[in-house]
Homo-oligomer: A and B are copies of this chain.
Amino acid sequence: MVLSQKARYALRALIVLAEKNDRDPVMIADIAAEADVPRKFLEQILLELKKRGIVRSTRGRQGGYQLGKPAKEITFADIIRVTDGPLALSPCVSVTAYQKCEDCFDESICPIRKVLLAARDATASVLESRTLAAAAAQIKKSRAI
């Protein structure tokens, strides 16, 4: 039920990137320091985010990470799906990774499924509407005060 540490780290790191306005690549070490994330763990996380197109990287000297697309197109749902898998409380109500329950007679009748489906939709509609851009903007606003 609870968000993994990995997800929290990913969100913090990406918000740091979003605040940079995507000029030059930012080194892992810098992101790690600003987001307060263990450096080697962050490496793994960024690698996964890269595979899913959420960030892109530049290798070698002067290298680092940048967002893979505009911050306002990256939602919390996108990020959490990478680190923690589907948002659904059961694979049988997942939109991105549907899987039938092993011991389910008839899915169309299952009263549990019906509820979990409604819960998934509610969660998804929140997490899909919140973007990195909004989160970064909020931080900047708080800093300005």
Q: Which of A23-31, A41-49, A61-69, A108-116 contacts B (4 or more CB under 8 A)?
A: A108-116
Contact flag A1-B135 (CB < 8 Å), given A115-B76, A115-B130, A123-B123: no
Residues of B within 8 A of A90 (CB): 2-3, 8
Interface majority SS (helix, strand, loop, mixed), chain A: helix
Q: How many residues of A contact B (CB 8 A)?
A: 40
A126 and B135 in contact (CB under 8 A), knowing A1-B84, A1-B86, A2-B91? no
Tally of this chain's copies: 2
Q: How far is the CA of A52 from the CA of B26 in the complex (A)?
A: 50
CB-CB under 8 A for A112 and B12, given A36-B103, A123-B122, A130-B118: yes
Which residues of A does B touch, CB under 8 Å? 1-3, 8, 11-12, 15, 36, 76, 80, 84-91, 103, 106, 109, 111-112, 114-116, 118-119, 122-123, 125-127, 130, 134-136, 138-139, 142
